[in-house]
Structure 1
Amino acid sequence: MTDVASTPGWLVTAGPRLVEATRRLGEQTAFYGRSLAATGDAVRRYPGELLRLIADMGMGTGALAVIGGTVGIIGFLTLTTGALVAVQGYDTLSNVGVEALTGFLSAFFNVRMIAPCTAGVALAATIGAGATAQLGAMRINEEIDALEVMGIRSITYLASTRIIAGVLVVIPLYAVAVLMSFFASKFGTLYIYGQSRGVYEHYFSTFLRPTDLLWSFLAVLVMATGVMVVHTYYGFTATGGPAGVGEAVGRSVRSSMIVTAFTALMISLSVYGQSGNFNLSG
């Protein structure tokens, strides 16, 4: 007969922890389904709140509006990553005598990997974290309970509207992000390293595929949807006072980063696969 007292503590608690994790996963899945299913209802019932959230997410409020809100943050991040493509790409290619292909690197890596991943991280750190903090503050102040008492559909009014706003805002934001990454790569290559404009633009336009841009936009839209549903869930279910809101923000950012990376990986595998839809020759 096994002595219960000699059983390791982690084994004793493994069952309850597994049950609790399964329960939380089920709650999350149900919340995601309800919030996504109510997006159409949110557009019909709360257009004013939706427009307010779009303006808030895009340009920011208060001190954040001074730098252009999320537009300025994403633009600055992709500007720096595009500059890194010029610096690392030109230096590396010049070692083997093919620095003329720097324009190819800008058209290839900015669109397929760097700009989408950078935009996803920026969305999680700005729009997503802000949504979690807002909803968490409303939860601990019992404002969400007050909305439900008044007969307002809290998930539709608070979560679904933020999901729609996040997806709509990311469209112009990502356009700015891609343009800034292209501009930084071109500026660094032409004006810092002194490459010929014609050489750069030849390889850039040759390898910039419109379909790659479309897939890149699709990847960012899926990332934005995943980021918003994750952050609204953690904000909607925050507990434990102000400290609990801070913990919810941290957990939501961690989860949304995982969602962003997984989305980028899955879309890249499904679209490009082993061939990559790419052929570099003579």
Structure 2
Amino acid sequence: MAIAMTGKFPRTRRVGQRFSGSTDSFGEQAVFYWTALRWSWRAVTHYKKETLRLIAEISMGSGALAVIGGTVVIVGFLTLASGATIAVQGYSSLGNIGVEALTGFFAAFINVRIASPVIAGIGLAATIGAGSTAQLGAMRISEEIDALEVMGIPSMPYLVTTRVVAGLIAIIPLYSLAVIMSFLASRFATVVIYGQSGGVYDHYFTTFLIPTDILWSFLQAILMAVVIMLIHTYYGYTASGGPAGVGEAVGNAVRASLIAVVVVTLLVSLAIYGGTGNFNLSG
């Protein structure tokens, strides 16, 4: 009867197989992520040199990327451009209703809660994450990971967890730079380019810049870094199919991590600010 039903409804069978495969893949990833996080203490205590090397590589880059400063410069320029764009759009839009003086409020509100975390997450996925996927994928197809296991070195804490820990540590100074660059770019565009009084801008900026929002923004960036590193290390660690398979793994990892950046931003914003946004504008 089952054979007859399978032959009679091939489309249903294919849909069921795809659903089953997706469920298996989700469970496999969940186990991988839990295992990687469970090894965190061992990675910190047993593989200190490797962790420090990865922190330096993540921050300043390696090879040709180190010439321009690695992730530090890339994330800095991305947030610099986003901060300037926020100032340009905010001043123009607010100027249409005669309240361009509130551009400082606009910069303090949008940069911290949305722009800087999202742009920094995209920069991390495109630099740190993609590089980790390519490195681990190349090691997998060249059987270097299997060689580590043969030598008695557990590959998960040595290759995966150290990268997650390094990304978690490196994101703090990287994100500090990102926030500062976005603030400076917004002020420069508003005061120097548009000619608004620096005192007016600083007044509204400092009035509406909530210190706790900055702390929550850092928490959001840290969560993004952990999620991005877990996703990219998974796709790199499980890569197959030769060099073409590594390229495919990098593409899949970047796609998944970009989706994760937006989802983390949404969930954190809902959890922290709720429906009201914890914001009151009155005069």
Match of 2:180 in 1: 179
Output the TM-score relative to the length of structure 2: 0.97
Distance 2:176 2:218 in 1: 9
Name the counterpart of 1:110.
111
Supply the distance in 1 between the matched residues of 2:85 and 2:6 (Cα, whole angstroms): 59
Where do 5+ consecutive residues of structure 2 fail to align?
A: none
- What are the within-5 Å matches in structure 2 for residues 138-177 of structure 1? 138-177=139-178
Distance 1:3 1:221 in 2: 50
Partner Cα separation in structure 1 for residue 229 and residue 243 of structure 2:
21
Q: How does 1:201-280 map to 2 (within 5 A)?
A: 201-280=202-281
- Taking structure 1 as reference, are residues 151 and 201 closer, same or farther at Cα in structure 2, changes over 3 Å only? same
Task: After TM superposition, give the deviation of residue 18 of structure 1 in Å.
Answer: 2.1
Cα distance change of structure 1 residues 191 and 36 upon mapping to structure 2, 3 Å threshold: same
Q: Distance in 2 between matches of 1:85 and 1:21?
A: 39
Q: Which residue in 2 is equivalent to 1:79?
A: 80
Moved over 4 A (4+): 1-6
CA distance in 1 between partners of 2:173 and 2:6 (Å): 61
* 1:28 paired residue number: 29
Q: Which residue of 1 aligns with 2:190?
A: 189
Paired residue secondary structure (2:281): coil
- The 1:271/1:139 distance shift into structure 2, 3 A limit, reads same
SS in 1 for 2:282: coil
Shift of 1:108: 0.3
TM-superposed CA distance for 1:19, in Å, is: 2.1
Q: Deviations over 1:92-138 (max 9, x none)?
A: 11111101000001100000000000001111111000000000000
Please give the residue correspondences for 1:91-102 in structure 2 after superposition, counting only pairs within 5 Å: 91-102=92-103
CA distance in 2, matches of 1:164, 1:35: 10
Residue 13 of structure 1, CA deviation? 1.5
How far apart, CA to CA, are the structure 2 residues paired with 1:4 and 1:270? 45
Q: Tell me, in whole angstroms, the C-alpha distance in 2 between the residues paired with 1:3 and 1:99.
A: 68
Q: Structure 1 residue 17: deviation in Å?
A: 2.1
Q: 3-state SS of the aligned residue for 1:275?
A: coil
What's the secondary structure of 1:87's corresponding residue? helix
Q: Does 1:125 align with 2:154?
A: no
CA distance 1:31–1:3, change in 2 (3 Å): closer
Question: Helix, strand or coil for the counterpart of 2:195?
Answer: coil
Q: CA deviation at 1:22?
A: 1.7
Q: Give, as a single letter, the amino acid of the residue that structure 2 aligns with 1:108.
A: F
Letter of the aligned partner of 1:157 in structure 2? Answer: Y
Q: 1:112 to 1:4 in 2, by over 3 A?
A: closer
**Equivalence for 2:70:** 69
Q: Given the superposition, is the C-alpha separation of residues 176 and 3 from structure 1 closer, same or farther in structure 2, using an over 3 Å criterion? A: closer
CA drift at 1:5 = 5.0
Return the alpha-carbon distance in structure 2 between the equivalents of residues 56 and 237 of structure 1.
22
Distance in 2 between residues matched to 1:206 and 1:269, nearest whole Å: 23
In the alignment, residue 144 of structure 2 is paired with which amino acid?
Answer: E
User: 1:185 is matched by which residue type in structure 2?
Assistant: S
Number of equivalences: 281
1:127 and 1:142 map into 2 onto residues whose CA distance is 23
